[in-house]
Amino acid sequence: MSPELLTILMFGTLIVAIAMGHPLAYTLAGVAVLFGLIDNGFNVPALFDMLANNSWGLMQNYVIVAVPLFIMMAQVLDRSKVADKLFESLYIVLGGLKGGLGLAVVVVSTVFAATTGIIGASVVAMGLLAGPALIRKGYQKELSSGIICASGTLGILIPPSIMLVVYGGLTGYKETSVGNLFAGAILPGILLSSLYFLYITLLCHFNPKIGPPIPESDRTHTAAQKWAMTIKSLVPPLGLILTVMGTILSGIATPTEAAALGVVGAMLLALANKQLTWQVLKEASISTYKTTAMIMMLFIGGKFFSTVFLSMGGGDVVANFLLGSGLNRYLVLAIMMAIVFFMGMFIDWAAILLVTVPIFTPIAMELDFNPLWFAMLMCVNLQTSFLTPPFGYALFYFKGVAPPEINIGHIYRGIIPFVALQLLGLVLLVIFPEIITWLPSVVFSH
């Protein structure tokens, strides 16, 4: 059977199996086993030797140790009430502006993103904190849904991000080390946050009814009190962020070591907020175990899928199709980004990375694209996967905790402008690659 036919059948089978509702990790591994056997003439021992070697190599990857540590850090922080105090402060500071509560959600989510790195924690926390407040103050249901869902997805991009750790563990390039990826993601994350902030400001300025300020009667704090509240609630999470990121970017610690330091810092914050109890540690540990197990199963299934796919010549088929098309290299880039965007509507981000990175990265190198720049385009693109129906995780996370007045229709309509803003951010990163490459070049120039 030709590599071209095997490639089409392998991806077709994967799509059908996912559509039937089978677990993604086992689907990836099962499809890989089936087509691996077809490709090697049903040599079962050889195929399972390949599986064992790939699984062993994955488990020996030191960078991957950072995954459970960052997850544990996020779980402890989620229970330490850091986001609660920050939102309460910004509710008072920004609430008097048109769209002020929405802006407060964006700011809190941006800070929270840099401390948790997990979408579920950010969206659920802000859904519980801000959802009822936004509706109570007269905010449009669609706008409220869009703000919370989109802002919550910043956690997958702004470092320390689990997605960046996974990406760094998949590639062998110096340019896409976890440290470089963390440095390269800071400005794109701020760019997206700024686009949300600007959109809400302009929208509510021209149409105050959908994002009204809080009444004058609720604005009883002095400027000095507002400053004191903001500083008091911002300093602890910013201190943790600077500790974790600073040790990585300065070269003092590896990402894995910094993640362990982050867990200690999260526990200290929880202790300071009187939330460090045995029950909190137990729940955080169980959640970390479950999330890590899920991610590692995806790793194994996705790694096996990509290994079989490449060994049967599928990578060469895709590369020859794109590189031999005669298209401008930016059109080829647009095709790859469109494929990732489309896959994001149906497949988990980790599986998309595991399947596409081994295929698309060599093509990007052949087209003479900067590996770090291309990696960040992939990651920003994948952020949209949490918002795009029918399987946008952020939409379902929010629906589970949303006020009863908000239905799934409000949520779907609300995220459309924010998906457009994310795609605008992606275009800006293509036009101005220095947004990605400048900070890593400054930090790691030595």
Q: Which helix (H) or strand (E) holds 219?
A: none
User: What is the pTM (predicted TM-score) of this model?
Assistant: 0.84
pLDDT mean over 225-237: 79
Mean pLDDT of all residues belonging to the chain: 85
H-type alpha helices, 367-403: 371-383, 393-401
- On the question of pLDDT at 19 being above 80, the answer is no
pLDDT at 217: 64
**Domain coordinates in residue numbering, the chain:** 3-374+391-443
pLDDT at 221: 67
- On the question of pLDDT at 144 being above 80, the answer is yes
- On the question of pLDDT at 44 being above 60, the answer is yes
Cα torsion angle, 273, 247, 164, 70, sign: negative
Work out the burial of residue 294: count CB atoms within 10 Å of its CB; fewer than 13 is exposed, 13-18 middle, 19 or more buried.
middle
pLDDT at 201: 94
- On the question of pLDDT at 81 being above 80, the answer is no
pLDDT at 445: 66
Nearest-angstrom CA–CA distance, 38 and 43: 9
pLDDT at 117: 66
434 vs 152, higher pLDDT: 434
Is residue 219 very low, low, confident or very high in pLDDT (cuts 50, 70, 90)? low
State the number of CA atoms in the 13 A half-sphere of 349 facing the CB: 26
Token pair recorded at residue 150? 């989109």
pLDDT at 206: 92
Instruction: Please give the share of the chain, as a percent, with pLDDT higher than 90.
Output: 25
46 vs 61, higher pLDDT: 46
- On the question of pLDDT at 183 being above 60, the answer is yes
- On the question of pLDDT at 446 being above 60, the answer is no
Nearest-angstrom CA–CA distance, 281 and 357: 35
pLDDT at 230: 76
Task: Convert the pLDDT of each residue in 185-218 to its tens digit.
Answer: 999 999 999 999 999 999 999 998 998 887 776 6
Closest CA to 281 of 4, 128, 78: 78
Least confident among 55-59, 382-386, 424-428: 55-59
Cα torsion angle, 105, 108, 110, 114, sign: negative
pLDDT at 251: 80
Q: Which helix (H) or strand (E) holds 432?
A: none
Residues 35, 45: contact at Cβ < 8 Å? no
pLDDT mean over 409-432: 94
Nearest-angstrom CA–CA distance, 444 and 446: 5
pLDDT mean over 401-426: 92
61 vs 271, higher pLDDT: 271
CA angle 305/307/310 to nearest 5° reads 105
Sequence letter at residue 220: T
State phi, psi for 158 to the nearest 5 degrees: -70, 125
Token pair recorded at residue 238? 């910013």
Nearest-angstrom CA–CA distance, 142 and 247: 40
pLDDT at 419: 94
pLDDT at 373: 96
pLDDT mean over 371-392: 89
Q: Tell me the residue ranges of DSSP E strands in 71-222.
A: none
Closest CA to 440 of 257, 167, 251, 258: 251
Token pair recorded at residue 178? 């976890």
